[in-house]
């Protein structure tokens, strides 16, 4: 996307982003317990793209609901996402997040555990304030998804000590860690709009496809992307010995090769000559295609257009 | 309580305990993700007194509800309690819990964080299965309480680095860390029974008073209890430089004394001569009295008797 495209995106989404940022700012965090609430405020103030709450608000509006009604649920998915980031950062021992110190580095592990727990509690609290009749159903779906995300993190940690992971298990893991939360965002947006089960199910599939496309593409961009846009070197996943769909597919096809011993250029050459690069590119393109087909089937309205803009942005990844 | 008393207690509560243990055993934990679910199963299998779910089931039954209906909520408060234990054990760097290795010692910190998160998710999942119309209200109260418990843990950690804590702030901290969860258990039991707001409010006050009595008495038993029953030496809180209501009241009355420099016998002598021991004993006795007054006001039935037995046990603390 060129800078004109970015400006158009920002202009279209600004009112929604403002609603989200305002409600994050307005969260009441008791200032008598700074050890608990200061790290939460610090983390929420780190600028983020707010993709999940945007998806939720736009889905709700595209299906006829007011964004104000969907806002508590939108805030809830953002808080849930932040809960996973804070705890994952401890587990993965990451020092920074979006250019800022992680909570366990700025404070300590105990404080970061508690902050993550607090974000989870605030997420449920916000969700349960959604003024729609079906809030218990929303809470059940929210809880099930939270557990699936934890399962995904468990699988991810397990894979770190497994020499060979088969592609379906890897895809299962990323679907749990990433896609289900985008799926949930769209589903909750649809539920707040009080639409049919069929439409809810379609919006779930839309969010899921978008999430899978996003995550698989993320693995590929590490070798095909622009290092300046990505903010990291080409091939950095390989150099950090990080398993991705590319290393896993290659390992399956060349069981005798030690993938992490390859140079970046050898790795790329092998991905091209084996056909794996094309195969994986087809994977994420198919997911994006599914997502856009579902979107196109919605009745035309401004929110649908915004949802298309946001989806294109997620597909193009250079915001 | 003598051993006859214990047997009577066990006989009266056995059917309820069996329901709770069975439902803990029947929790479906996906065996394909052992890194996530094995530690959860391990922790839930450590024998516990299950006071919170017992309170919930007995309150529900005393007010006319079937225990089967209240069981998902009972399981939820036990899971919530276990979530706090797993994360608190990491934060407090405790090696054992009820004679078993803590999860972060048996596995590692990352695994224990994830297990705690999972327990939290399972707690909400169970709560939301309670087959009563007002499940959303129950979920709101559950969430608010979970946040208050986290706040209590935050205050507790803050106090570790504060030289002087005033008694009201200490009492506020223990009310958040302990009493509110007993309060919630009784409240949710009452809500499942569909009783009036007045009765719900009474049962809240009952649970809260029981919790405050329990926790304040816990501080006092450290110097007045029987070391064999307590399973620790008399004065061990003092020797570990742990702030309790006794050290805090004493510090307030003798601002120039370094409390933790006192021997156990000097500490006890000062507590007696200052009148603080009597004052604090009055505190917890008043809480227990409040609890029993509320209980006595309930209509007579077998579950009410069981609730009285359980409350006496909590008051006598030697099970």
Q: Lowest mean pLDDT: which of A74-88, A191-205, A215-229, B25-39?
A: A215-229
pLDDT at B319 over 50: no
Cα separation values, A296 from A202, A289, B186, Å: 11, 10, 51
> For position A317, what pLDDT does the model report?
73
DSSP string, B173-208: HHIIIIIHHHHHHHHHHHHHTT--HHHHHHHHHHHH
Interchain CB contact of B235 with A (< 8 Å): no
Residue numbers in A near B27 (CB within 8 A): none
Distance, in angstroms, between B208 CA and closest chain A CA?
A: 21
Supply the range of the domain harboring residue B277. Answer: 3-316
Interchain CB contact of A209 with B (< 8 Å): no
Interchain CB contact of B273 with A (< 8 Å): no
Q: What is the pLDDT of residues B241-254, one digit of tens each?
A: 899 999 999 999 99
Substitution target from A40, A73, A79, A113 for chain B, most B beta carbons within 10 A: A113
- Average pLDDT score over residue span B206-217: 97
| pLDDT band (50, 70, 90) for residue A319 | very low
- Average pLDDT score over residue span B194-223: 96
Q: Which residue of A has its CA nearest to B92?
A: A110
Q: What is the pLDDT of residues A33-83, one digit of tens each?
A: 999 999 999 999 999 999 999 999 999 999 999 999 999 999 999 999 999
Q: What percent of chain A has pLDDT over 70?
A: 96
Substitution target from B102, B110, B137 for chain A, most A beta carbons within 10 A: B110
| A143 → closest Cβ in B109, B128, B154 | B128
- Average pLDDT score over residue span A24-34: 92
Mean pLDDT for chain A? 94
Q: What is the pLDDT of residues A87-96, one digit of tens each?
A: 999 999 999 9
* Token pair in block for residue A158: 């397990």
Substitution target from B119, B123, B143, B148 for chain A, most A beta carbons within 10 A: B143
pLDDT at A202 over 90: yes
Distance, in angstroms, between A121 CA and closest chain B CA?
A: 6
> For position A50, what pLDDT does the model report?
96
Q: What percent of chain B has pLDDT over 90?
A: 85
- Average pLDDT score over residue span A198-227: 94
Distance, in angstroms, between B87 CA and closest chain A CA?
A: 7
Helices (H), chain B: 3-25, 34-45, 51-62, 67-91, 103-106, 109-127, 135-159, 167-174, 180-192, 197-224, 227-230, 236-239, 245-253, 264-274, 276-296, 302-316
**Are A117 and B120 within 8 A, CB to CB?**
yes
* Token pair in block for residue A88: 């994952």
- Tell me the residues of chain B between 10 and 49 that have a Cβ less than 8 Å away from chain A: 30, 33-37
CATH number of the domain that residue A217 is part of: 1.10.600.10
Per-residue H/E/C for chain A: CCHHHHHHHHHHHHHHHHHHHHHHHCCCCCCCCHHHHHHHHHHHHCCCCCHHHHHHHHHHHHCCCCHHHHHHHHHHHHHHHHHHHHHHHHHCCCCEECCEECHHHHCCHHHHHHHHHHHHHHHHHHHCCCCCCCHHHHHHHHHHHHHHHHHHHHHHHHHCCCCCCCHHHHHHHHHHHHHHHHHHHHHHHHHHCCCCHHHHHHHHHHHHHHHHHHHHHHHHHHHHCCHHHHCCCCCHHHHCCCCCHHHHHHHHHCCCCCHHHCCHHHHHHHHHHCCHHHHHHHHHHHHHHHHHHHHHCCCCCHHHHHHHHHHHHHHHCCC
Q: Are B311 and B317 in contact (CB under 8 A)?
A: no
Distance, in angstroms, between B302 CA and closest chain A CA?
A: 33
Q: What is the pLDDT of residues B91-140, one digit of tens each?
A: 999 999 989 999 999 999 999 999 999 999 999 999 999 999 999 999 99
Q: What is the pLDDT of residues A95-131, one digit of tens each?
A: 999 899 999 999 999 999 999 999 999 999 999 999 9
pLDDT at B27 over 80: yes
| pLDDT band (50, 70, 90) for residue A5 | low
Q: Are A59 and A85 in contact (CB under 8 A)?
A: no
pLDDT at B6 over 70: no
Interchain CB contact of B236 with A (< 8 Å): no
| Listed residue (B145, B156, B134) closest to B207, CA to CA | B145
Q: Which residue of A has its CA nearest to B114?
A: A150
pLDDT at A226 over 90: no
DSSP class of B299: P
| pLDDT band (50, 70, 90) for residue A149 | very high
Instruction: Indicate if the alpha-carbon torsion angle B132, B137, B143, B147 is positive or negative.
Output: negative
| A125 → closest Cβ in B110, B121, B144 | B144
| A143 → closest Cβ in B124, B140, B155 | B124
Interchain CB contact of B167 with A (< 8 Å): no
Distance, in angstroms, between B297 CA and closest chain A CA?
A: 34
Backbone angles phi, psi at B100, to 5 degrees: -120, 155
Residues B250 and A240: their CA atoms lie apart, in Å, by 56
What count of other Cβ atoms lies within 10 Å of the Cβ of residue B304? 19
| pLDDT band (50, 70, 90) for residue B225 | confident
**Are A113 and B90 within 8 A, CB to CB?**
yes
Substitution target from B29, B73, B114, B160 for chain A, most A beta carbons within 10 A: B114
Residues B184 and A51: their CA atoms lie apart, in Å, by 35
Q: Which residue of A has its CA nearest to B32?
A: A155
> For position A177, what pLDDT does the model report?
96
Number of domains observed in the structure of chain A = 1
Q: What is the ipTM of this complex?
A: 0.95
């Amino acid at each position: 996307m060129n800078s004109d495209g970015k400006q158009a995106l920002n202009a279209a989404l600004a009112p929604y982003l403002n609603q989200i940022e305002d409600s994050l700012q307005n969260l009441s965090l008791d200032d008598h317990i700074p050890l608990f609430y200061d790290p939460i405020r610090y983390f929420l103030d780190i600028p983020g793209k707010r993709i999940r709450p945007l998806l939720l608000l736009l889905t709700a509006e595209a299906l006829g609901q007011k964004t104000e009604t969907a806002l508590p649920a939108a805030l809830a998915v953002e808080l849930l996402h932040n809960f996973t980031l804070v705890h994952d950062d401890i587990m993965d021992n990451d020092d920074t997040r979006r250019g800022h110190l992680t909570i366990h580095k700025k404070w300590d592990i105990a404080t970061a555990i508690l902050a993550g727990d607090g974000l989870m509690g605030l997420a449920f609290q916000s969700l349960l304030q959604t003024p729609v009749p079906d809030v218990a159903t929303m809470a059940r779906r929210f809880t099930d998804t939270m557990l699936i995300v934890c399962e995904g993190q468990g699988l991810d940690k397990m894979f770190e000590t497994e020499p060979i992971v088969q592609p379906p298990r890897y895809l299962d893991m990323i679907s749990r860690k990433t896609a289900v939360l985008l799926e949930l965002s769209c589903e909750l947006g649809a539920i707040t709009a009080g639409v049919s089960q069929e439409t809810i199910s379609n919006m779930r599939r839309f969010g899921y496809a978008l999430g899978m496309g996003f995550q698989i593409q993320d693995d590929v961009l590490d070798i095909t992307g622009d290092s300046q846009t990505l903010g990291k070197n080409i091939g950095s996943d390989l150099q950090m010995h990080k398993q991705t769909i590319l290393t896993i597919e290659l390992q399956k096809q060349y069981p005798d090769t030690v993938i992490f011993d390859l140079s970046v250029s050898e790795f790329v050459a092998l991905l091209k000559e084996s056909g794996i690069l094309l195969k994986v590119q087809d994977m994420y393109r198919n997911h994006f295609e599914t997502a856009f087909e579902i979107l196109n089937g919605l009745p035309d309205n401004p929110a649908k257009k915004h949802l298309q803009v946001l989806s294109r942005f997620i597909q193009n990844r250079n915001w």
